[in-house]
Amino acid sequence: MKNFREGGELILDFRYEASAGEMGLKYFAYGSNMDPERMRRRGIRFSRREHAVLEGFRLEFNKVSSRDPREGYANIVKDPESVVEGILYEIEESDLRRLDRREGYPFHYRRTRVYVKLDNGERVEAITYIAQPEKVRSGLKPSKEYLSHLLRGCDLLSQQYCEKLKRTPTL
């Protein structure tokens, strides 16, 4: 990993060696981007998609939607007793800016790096997005449509985690 500055902002370069010497980027999705079709519709190319666990965080729907002030989008909050399951993607580096725009970076979400655990026990570094504090509010609920995107990740998530997601109250 190397760091560089762009317009005064520190950018973390999360490249790693992929197959045949190509460079890629690891992205941990815990919200609507767990839906692979949503990622494709957004123009985000990925070469790999696998289950991963982020320890020390919990999932909340406390990021205020720009469409409905009662609707909450997925966010992660530090909690040493919790875990968040999600999808680890290998994406093209050229798609990072596209992903940033879709996630409302830097105004709605900030980009950060985390270590996630794969099913084989390996811990890997990835980027993810966490809601900006001024965009967070308690008492929000996801829409049924929004939650359906998270549920499309159930092909890789644990059955227990999927059942928990299915029980999430919606608008």
Per-residue pLDDT at 36: 97
Per-residue pLDDT at 93: 86
CA distance 147 to 74: 9
Per-residue pLDDT at 94: 87
Per-residue pLDDT at 24: 83
pTM of the model: 0.86
Crossing angle (nearest 10°) for helices 159-166 and 144-151: 180
CA distance 23 to 33: 22
For 40, 88, 89, 96, 120, the CA distances from 52, given in Å and listed in that order, are 20, 6, 10, 20, 10
Instruction: Quote the tokens at residue 167.
Output: 């029980």
| Domains of the chain and any CATH numbers | 2-166 (3.10.490.10)
Per-residue pLDDT at 12: 42
49: which residues sit within 8 A by CB, 6+ positions away?
Answer: 36, 87, 88, 89, 90, 156
Residue ranges in the chain modelled with pLDDT below 70: 1-23
Per-residue pLDDT at 99: 95
Per-residue pLDDT at 20: 37
Per-residue pLDDT at 18: 37
